[in-house]
Structure 1
């Protein structure tokens, strides 16, 4: 009721008072902040969800993520950030992960230097490793599947909201796959900031193209 009325402060008190918050409660709370024009706060809450031992249901969170993506996209347009390759790439991945392929294609078509994205990643040493995709699909679809892994999307959000100095922190309740590990090493090298990923086994500190785990 308070979410629909727009009283987010009181809704937060109620939300914090729920002893065991299920995915539905998290989804409603995230959606409320995007609906009322607080995309950055919604991102913060989404990060809190990922940091817990919950396994987000893709279909349950899909509408909230898509609405959040549209809010972030609007912020990007208003602040003339569409020329930033990492910002545009993050938006493409976001829309694709939400199955909003038409919007993903529109953002991709408007990327003035879209060929440089994959080229720069390859120059820095990244090549998609489709061995980590178990589905029986074609090679191109396997590469697309790798692009939508949650840790890559979370790091992309972090880059989008980064001040260029503070580390990016991502929490994952499963072990990071080898392809994402390699990709994040490259991202850390390109953007020049530290990226910290906590998976089910350890903390991974990515910096200057290397990881503290030494690729173990």
Structure 2
């Protein structure tokens, strides 16, 4: 950029470079590259590093990145949740509890997960384990049938994404009823076979729902598009356009 085009890299360019290194799992190189940045790294840079640490389970570097983000964006709940995800995946429930206490002490409120889908010009909204929809019985029945087919195809619930130290069976039960799964089930029973199902979620789609949606897209032979807080996910034939990194 500097030599050929006389363009000085800005914060966003450094953030993209950290993201590229993070996607490749080259976290040590990403950390060393950050030391070369000629200004204080902003939230985008630290956020890219934290996301990579979550993906690859680097607890120490993830904690450092999160602490820097807490200083830059003390009321951004998503960064606290990412650090909780890292701890929960490692089974470090005491550290998960500490992060929650920090959030409480600082007055940081985690926005409840919510997914919605528009069918026939009407918006249908779902929360986790939501049973307020008029077609709840059919929605849950559809999810149960999908669960059987997914498990037969090799799907295993990833309980690392349930941030509570509870029994395994309870964790799996909670995972099956996340808001995006409920919205997908409703979309499948409310639209014609073969048509795409389009979902919007206010938060980042969790890893288990991402894996489950890949299985569902292949089982029902439908395209499923989810727009979460980070990006679009286009699921088709058991694959996602994000390449499983988001």
The TM-score, its normalising length taken from structure 2, stands at: 0.46
Size of the alignment, in residue pairs? Answer: 127
| 2:166 corresponds to 1:88 | no
2: CA distance between counterparts of 1:121 and 1:161?
21
| 2:214 corresponds to 1:214 | no
2: CA distance between counterparts of 1:198 and 1:179?
16
State the secondary structure of the residue aligned to 1:163.
Answer: coil
1: CA distance between counterparts of 2:140 and 2:170?
23
Pick closer, same or farther for the CA change 1:67–1:211 going to 2, 3 Å. closer
Say whether the 8 Å CA contact 2:140–2:182 is kept in structure 1.
Answer: no
2: CA distance between counterparts of 1:156 and 1:172?
15
State the secondary structure of the residue aligned to 1:45.
Answer: strand
Deviation of residue 160 (structure 1)?
Answer: 0.9
What's the C-alpha RMSD, in Å, of the aligned pairs? 2.8
| 2:222 corresponds to 1:193 | yes
State the secondary structure of the residue aligned to 1:179.
Answer: helix
Greater radius of gyration (CA)? 2
Deviation of residue 141 (structure 1)?
Answer: 0.1
Pick closer, same or farther for the CA change 1:67–1:176 going to 2, 3 Å. closer
Which of 94, 104, 123 is residue 152 of structure 2 equivalent to? 123
1: CA distance between counterparts of 2:191 and 2:153?
21
User: Could you give the per-residue CA deviations for residues 17-49 of structure 1, whole angstroms, max 9, x where no partner exists?
Assistant: xxxxxxxxxxxxxxxxxxxxxxx76x92325xx
2: CA distance between counterparts of 1:87 and 1:130?
20
Say whether the 8 Å CA contact 1:87–1:160 is kept in structure 2.
Answer: no
The residue number in structure 1 matching 2:68 is none
Considering fraction of residues, name the structure with more strand.
2
Deviation of residue 166 (structure 1)?
Answer: 1.6
The TM-score, its normalising length taken from structure 1, stands at: 0.52
The residue number in structure 2 matching 1:135 is 164
